Structure 1
Amino acid sequence: MRHHSLAVIAFVVGLGLAACSSPATDTAPAAPTPVCGGTLVVAIDSDPGSLNPAATTSGGVHTASELMFNGLVGLGPDLQPVPELAESWEVLEDGALYRFHLREGVTWHDGQPFTSGDVKYSFEEVLLKLHSRTQASVGSAIQSIAASDPSTVEFRFKQPYAPLLQQLDVTEAPIVPQHLYQGTDPAKNPANMAPIGTGPYTFVSYAPGSEIRMARNGSYFEAGLPYLDEVVMRVIPDRASQVNALRGGEVDWLFGVPGPERAVLEADPAFGTLQTPINPGGSNCIMTVSFNLDRPVLQDLRVRQAISFALDRQQFVDRVLFGEGRAADAPISSGIPFAYADDLDNVVSYDPAQAERLLDEAGWKRSGDGGVRSSSGVQGVPDGTPLAINFVAFPSFNQYAELYRAQLAAVGIDVTLQPLDPPVFADTVFAQRNFDTNIISYCNGTDPEIGVKRMFLSSNISKTPFSNASAYRNPQMDALFGEAATTVDPAQRSEVYRQIQQLAVDDAPYTWVVETTATRVFRSGCEGFGPSGHFAKTAFCAPPQ
């Protein structure tokens, strides 16, 4: 069998320079030759409900739509910025001004020209209002965006802003067409169900709950790409059913596999794999429990800490991830080495006895039978009230939910599970705030400014999905993130992020469970996949034998 890492991208980027009808011939002898044409069938976990990745950070939406869009820049194999809609750029005034020179001749899928006005509109009216990561990071730092001419756009910041180039790819800042969205509510525009982008694939059809079909963009600005004629996203919610579909030749690509199946598929020469921490929708993701700080029970720091002490993170790694990932031991992913801190004080680890002590201290007492705790002198809660909370999660996170419930039951907390499909989850958690606890895959990105900041800023408590779910407020935290964004010296910036993480541990508005990676599985004969939302841009498949 074939097992790939991120290095595969470097190879396929080189192939992309060749026209599809005349593939490159000067590659190494072992390198496969691209095959033009064919259809790639992809299994996805859930119906996305929308195909506008600029209006949300939902992984389901991004998985289903990123192939149809572009960012100003892409991220190469080393996660450094490479040209995409912008062919070049200048960083001026010590990072307070970024000037981007756009590619000439790029058109939207409906034939309209792409211009700097599309970039300005996408940021000002969509990304900075609806995309939680871009809203919290760029939105809090930007002073103005100017489209000085059709092929030039400038971002001016209030102070030098170091991370911008890491925040402009199709995941963090997909560009949408101004001519279709201007004057409408971008979250409700009909184009969200039949998108027009600039990406390597064009929209063909969307059957909700069933499949999304895309066709090769014959006018794509990267000559010769993509190789495939068609990509079909097929909704198959059950992971075991996805594996059966792969084995039966009904699908060609899985974004992930159930743990027990992984070793079997890896050993089967009929399939190849690619392991990556990068996903459509974000990278360096941490499965994170949010506490609704508007609920009296969870306003008590001791209760939140007790829940954290009750969680055996290694069990989540072993039983849910089957060893694919690691127990989270800090608020920032270890995949961001300059910001990750391994020297924090009072980091919570598995200690159910300490959880019981904290709950006792907080006035939640066990009865003689050792069952569910009830209140005794808890402020804002009538005496005798059971310690019962709900746990809201995507259906695909059911294994996390079951283990969470079992581990909290052991310390006397009754948990009701509430599985919700992504669109309903987003409305319930962020618009209605009708939950006690939940679990979210908060993707940190390649810089904490991208995916961490949105979770903590008080200004980011909003209806925007996947923003500050806990409704955490602390002016000191706001100030620290402001300092981190404008600090240029790497060592100083690392120290600010250490302080941020220490404050997050001390205040415990969230608890961090596991850092995740993913194993993609695809049928033998397919090659050239990347790890990101453009995973199929450089892919090609030989016809099945």
Structure 2
Amino acid sequence: MQLNRRNLLKIATVSGAVMALGGRFAQAQEAQALRIGLSTYPAHLRPWVNVGYSGHLVSSLINRNLINCDENGQLVGELAESWENDTPTTWRFTLRAASFHDGSPVTAQDVEWTLQQIQADGSGTYMYDALRPITGVEIIDDRSFRLTTDGPLATVPALMTYPFLSILKAGSTDAEDQGIGAGPYRIAYAEKGVAIELEPNEHYFKPGLPALSGVTVTPYVDESARVAALTAGDVDLIDYVPWSAMQAIDGDSALALHKVDAGAFMYLSFNGTGVFADPRVRQAVAFGLRRDEFVQSIFFGFGAEMKGLPRVSGTPYHHDDQANFWGYDPERAKALLKEAGHEGGLQVNLLSTSQYTMHRDTAVLVQAQLAEIGITVNLTMPDWATRVNLGNQGAGDFAVQGIGLDNLDPDAVATLVDPSQAPTYLRSRNFKVEGLSDLLAKGRAEMDQAQRVETYRQVDQTVLEATSFCGICYRATGFATNAKVQDLKMLPNQVSPFSSVLFDQLKLA
């Protein structure tokens, strides 16, 4: 059943009961229904727009990509059965036999329509910039198509794994915002801020899945309440496990902590309409932070300092000198401010949110540490939805950010470090870094790995010196469950926050 006005009227008749149950909306349902305590209700269910990890978790339960990652970080086919680079500027895809929630087959025409919606001018989609090198879709037959690019593009398979690149039924967003997807579940009922009820998609293409009779998603905005709901047995799984609770959950035999230590990360983005147009001021901020304090005081030691760009240690794209570029150097920071004409200090506005303690406490600690080098920071910390809207509107001189990478290709950092891309709350804006876009384009076009390694080394050095991105620290990514939940797997490293793409495998004992 799809979410529409008629179903919303049905919901209205039970909303009082839902409120009275205090988030235990599914207790009366079958034992095999999974109850998820979510960190926040998604701002909306419109496809292809990044509304944060909570929105992705719901999206990953109702939608599917062409390609995804597995728990080892390897690319695996989802709606795509196979793909190959058949010429320097074309990639051929073959779809598996899969169906949408309404039983209609997933076709090459649906893929073409989806990409057209994302690439449309003014779409506001997360993938708008990343998909610009794709210049056409050639339909071969219902289950085969060829993507044409404006030049050699090594990143095409990785692009198809982007968290918000769901393939939807052509034209389905005309009737309802979220459209019709091909994921393991479909929306049965939803009431904004209260709960989302999901029922199995009997047309799901993976044999024997989903194994659950349904899923209920209930928001628990307060972190302590979310943990308490899991401990009390009101929910079976929670996202965004607070770092303060990880040790206790890990030591509770009735619960299980699933975490990746080098998962997502905290960083700062800059707005170039004010003082941060000057790279020396951005650099001063980067050299004025004691990153170890963020790891210990905010994340209880479940993390690591981030003195460079997010590169997986042990891969060819990780270089020790660049990984330690932004060491704490307050004298250098003060000298940069003096050189930029701010010897007497300056005032700036930092945008964050009060809803997530990691964002709130990061902002407070940034404020305290930068005061030591002569930067007075005023804080703006609304709820998360307002913070996202303000960020998209360009509010604030700089902003606290927290995210993982979209995929493990070295080009994944492009969405965070290149301020010349379309404005979004997730990256810096209103200034350009000379030569950066060209270097990123060169890396995307390079098929030879040794050459790619060298190109992305140049990319990283350019970003570090311009400080279009300011890393703070890695934070462990954690989900927690009760003992009934089985087969929970996590994606590796910086893509671990998007592990819900594997939740179609979940079972209950």
Pick the TM interval, shorter chain. Answer: 0.7 to 0.9
Task: Indicate if the aligned counterparts of 1:293 and 1:509 stay in contact, CA closer than 8 A.
Answer: no
Distance (Å, rounded) in 2 between the aligned partners of 1:345 and 1:333 = 8
Distance (Å, rounded) in 1 between the aligned partners of 2:488 and 2:124 = 26
Task: Indicate if the aligned counterparts of 2:442 and 2:455 stay in contact, CA closer than 8 A.
Answer: yes
Distance (Å, rounded) in 2 between the aligned partners of 1:266 and 1:482 = 44
- Cα separation, partners in 2 of 1:362 and 1:475, compared to 1, 3 Å: closer
Letter of the 1:461 counterpart? A
Count residues with an aligned counterpart: 469
- Cα separation, partners in 2 of 1:143 and 1:478, compared to 1, 3 Å: same
Stretch moving more, 221-230 or 40-49: 40-49
- Cα separation, partners in 2 of 1:135 and 1:147, compared to 1, 3 Å: same
Mapping 1:57-68, distance limit 5 Å? 58-68=52-62
Name 2:415's counterpart in structure 1. 454
Name 2:428's counterpart in structure 1. 469
Name 2:372's counterpart in structure 1. 410
Matching of residue 138 in structure 1 with residue 131 in structure 2: yes
Deviation at 1:111, TM superposition (A): 3.0
Letter of the 1:426 counterpart? V
**Aligned pair partner of 2:158 in 166, 171, 193:** 166
Name 2:176's counterpart in structure 1. 190
- Cα separation, partners in 2 of 1:358 and 1:90, compared to 1, 3 Å: closer
Matching of residue 221 in structure 1 with residue 205 in structure 2: yes
Deviation at 1:37, TM superposition (A): 6.1
Distance (Å, rounded) in 2 between the aligned partners of 1:422 and 1:122 = 28
Any idea what SS the aligned residue of 1:74 has? strand
**Aligned pair partner of 2:400 in 408, 432, 439:** 439
Name 1:390's counterpart in structure 2. 350
Name 2:65's counterpart in structure 1. 71
Name 1:260's counterpart in structure 2. 244
Deviation at 1:222, TM superposition (A): 0.7
Matching of residue 522 in structure 1 with residue 481 in structure 2: yes
Deviations for 1:211-266, whole angstroms, at most 9, x for unmatched residues? 21111112211111011111111111111111111111111112232223211111
Task: Indicate if the aligned counterparts of 1:286 and 1:516 stay in contact, CA closer than 8 A.
Answer: yes
Task: Indicate if the aligned counterparts of 1:205 and 1:212 stay in contact, CA closer than 8 A.
Answer: yes
Task: Indicate if the aligned counterparts of 1:272 and 1:522 stay in contact, CA closer than 8 A.
Answer: yes
Deviation at 1:43, TM superposition (A): 1.6
Q: Taking structure 1 as the reference length, what is the TM-score of the superposition?
A: 0.80
Task: Indicate if the aligned counterparts of 1:132 and 1:465 stay in contact, CA closer than 8 A.
Answer: no
Letter of the 1:528 counterpart? D
- Cα separation, partners in 2 of 1:83 and 1:484, compared to 1, 3 Å: same
Deviation at 1:170, TM superposition (A): 6.4
Mapping 1:214-253, distance limit 5 Å? 214-253=198-237
Deviation at 1:360, TM superposition (A): 3.5
Distance (Å, rounded) in 2 between the aligned partners of 1:64 and 1:198 = 13
Name 2:27's counterpart in structure 1. none
| Percent identity of paired positions between Structure 1 and Structure 2 | 25
Deviations for 1:480-531, whole angstroms, at most 9, x for unmatched residues? 0111011111111111111111111111122111123312210012111132
**Aligned pair partner of 1:211 in 188, 195, 198:** 195
Name 1:425's counterpart in structure 2. 387
Name 1:342's counterpart in structure 2. 320
Deviation at 1:327, TM superposition (A): 1.0
Deviation at 1:167, TM superposition (A): 2.4
**Aligned pair partner of 2:92 in 96, 99, 104:** 99
Letter of the 2:273 counterpart? D
- Cα separation, partners in 2 of 1:145 and 1:285, compared to 1, 3 Å: farther
Q: Taking structure 2 as the reference length, what is the TM-score of the superposition?
A: 0.85
**Aligned pair partner of 2:335 in 357, 365, 369:** 357
Stretch moving more, 83-92 or 483-492: 83-92
Deviation at 1:476, TM superposition (A): 0.7
Task: Indicate if the aligned counterparts of 2:100 and 2:106 stay in contact, CA closer than 8 A.
Answer: yes
Deviation at 1:479, TM superposition (A): 0.9
- Cα separation, partners in 2 of 1:286 and 1:257, compared to 1, 3 Å: closer
Name 2:118's counterpart in structure 1. 126
Any idea what SS the aligned residue of 1:533 has? helix
Mapping 1:24-63, distance limit 5 Å? 38-56=32-50, 58-63=52-57
Deviation at 1:42, TM superposition (A): 1.2
Name 2:20's counterpart in structure 1. none
- Cα separation, partners in 2 of 1:82 and 1:128, compared to 1, 3 Å: farther
Distance (Å, rounded) in 1 between the aligned partners of 2:367 and 2:464 = 22
Letter of the 2:472 counterpart? V
Mapping 1:268-417, distance limit 5 Å? 268-276=252-260, 285-295=264-274, 297-334=275-312, 337-344=315-322, 347-366=325-344, 373=345, 387-393=347-353, 395-396=355-356, 397-417=359-379
Distance (Å, rounded) in 1 between the aligned partners of 2:151 and 2:314 = 23
Stretch moving more, 442-451 or 158-167: 442-451
Deviation at 1:53, TM superposition (A): 4.1
Task: Indicate if the aligned counterparts of 2:487 and 2:507 stay in contact, CA closer than 8 A.
Answer: yes
Distance (Å, rounded) in 1 between the aligned partners of 2:441 and 2:453 = 14
Deviation at 1:433, TM superposition (A): 1.3
> How large is the Cα RMSD of the aligned pairs?
2.5
**Aligned pair partner of 1:179 in 171, 174, 192:** 171
Question: Structure 2 stretches of 5 or more lacking a match?
Answer: 1-29, 491-498
- Cα separation, partners in 2 of 1:521 and 1:235, compared to 1, 3 Å: same
Name 2:15's counterpart in structure 1. none
